[in-house]
Structure 1
Amino acid sequence: MIYSLLTTSVVHTIQSHPNPHKQITPAKRPHEAASITFDDSNLASVTLPHIDPLVIELRVNRFTVERVLIDQGSTSEVMYYKTFIKLGFTELDLSPAHYPLFGFNANLEYPLGKITLPVRAGSRSVDVKFLVVKLPSSYIPIMGRTWLHTLQVVPSTYHQLLRFPTERGIEQIRGSQKSAQACYLLAAKTKKELEESSIEVLDRESLDDDGRLTINRQQLISFLLGNLDVFAWSLYEMPGVDPSVSQHRLNVDPKCKPIIQKSRRSAAEHTTAVVEELDQLLDAGVIREVTYPT
């Protein structure tokens, strides 16, 4: 396998080549693999800049499974116990797994067992051995290098895309940035934080005189957790908003000569708050730093 970076444009290519020093007869000539490339045209539906992982959707044992993390750092495919139960299995369906997993909470984790299930990606389906662990996670399964190499998958987190060869040609699966961000929020927001920031509602179900339905706190929290991808939690998640909605302009007469004002000092806590807010806006790409000569 050869990885090459073309100089004319940003293109990542992986292609199989026969050994040039080995003579190949027509009867033994291998099937030439098609090139798998990524370029800027694949960024049309990607929100930039981003540092999102590649989270996709796959078909696992007759079920469509969302929030599938593509993890090139994992040698094994991992399924969480909650997902395992939702797929209709019990611990009686597990085979023994005699080796531990590394990397979870910086400790060894011994799986409950392993199970082999069919996984379909596009037109290709392969049997995948999942290690089942009883740990909390915002992701449903994790697909590691074993599955990636079996299908000869070439992923690109930057392009939010993975591609793989099939008999019909190169097929692809697009990643979901909304799902990736929702998983991050699920992992970052604890139950305590949600309760502290939740809206006060009546602890009963009833119809008020004005016809509005009231729900208890736990129902509201469950509803918000189940629809995290619907809400915009930061400016980063609202691309395409017209600048006139949020753009700020100084009401300055262009005919006037600019004058440098004296430096004004603010309280330390105010300065810290301003710096944090500016860093968030810069990271989100909403503003950019410019330098004017004086």
Structure 2
Amino acid sequence: MARKGRDISGWLVVDKPAGPTSTAVVNKVRWALGAKKAGHAGTLDPEATGVLAVALGEATKTVPYITDALKAYTFTVRLGQATNTDDAEGEVIATSDTRPTDDEIKGGLGDFIGEIMQVPPKFSAVKIDGERAYKLARDGEDVEIAARPLWVEELLLVDRPDEDHVVLEMTCGKGGYVRAIARDLGHALGCHGHVTRLRRIWSGPFEAGDGISMETIEELARTPELDAYLRPLEEGLADLPELKCTPEGAVRLRNGNPGMVFASDVEYGDEAWASLDGRAVAVGTYKAGQLHPSRVFNQSEPA
């Protein structure tokens, strides 16, 4: 049975508060906008805050491009304590009186920059034999999670409020666990560590400073004023080159066929998106003057 709701497309950038799950935020946004379809581009832990980019309608087709984009976080690490969840929600399982100096911390950060191998926290949504790791961990099972590659663009010490806490800022690629960085850095420095505060400050083209609060979403729910906060579907394609197409090319692309585009600096085989009058028509592969579509957008005409 078809899902009821409006055929509304675009992005709503939410400044997520601590508490709700990412899924709960998406459900609230979908209800507030009366949207038929919604999804998010990258989970935040319930206690984390900051950018949660919610895609509506046809914009859900651009979610992978935001998920794959670089993201930045600020987070506070409590030194001297390890927890079973690698954050403040868990039980303390080890302690240390060792406190590294600022220079020692800065020196240790270098090992976590570039292409690293990271073992996700045991309390995470990683699947093991079809089960979520956090479910197995809660049931008392000894969870073994394989290490996976992570690209860390930058990892900086930005503040040291006291000897027990450090504030770090990290820019990384897809699939990074900040809690694992805190855990592994504490281990490397011989002092243990866990995250006490985490905020995603930007994700791809979306910044926390431009985000809407949950309070505002509730206040403006089901009103045109909330619609005004929607950002264009096309912002989800910011990391791909844009190619303009002819009206005839747009018709072919919307039907799933290769369509003529006007290329600039793209090369044969590059992924790109085609637009007509500034609106996305399709994403695909550029080959000899045509875009071969992999995703087609069926946006309703603007009011």
Q: TM-score range by the shorter chain?
A: under 0.3
Larger CA Rg, structure 1 vs 2: 1
**TM-score, reference length from structure 1:** 0.25
TM-score of the superposed pair, with normalisation by structure 2: 0.24
* Higher RCO (CA < 8 A, seq sep 6+): 2
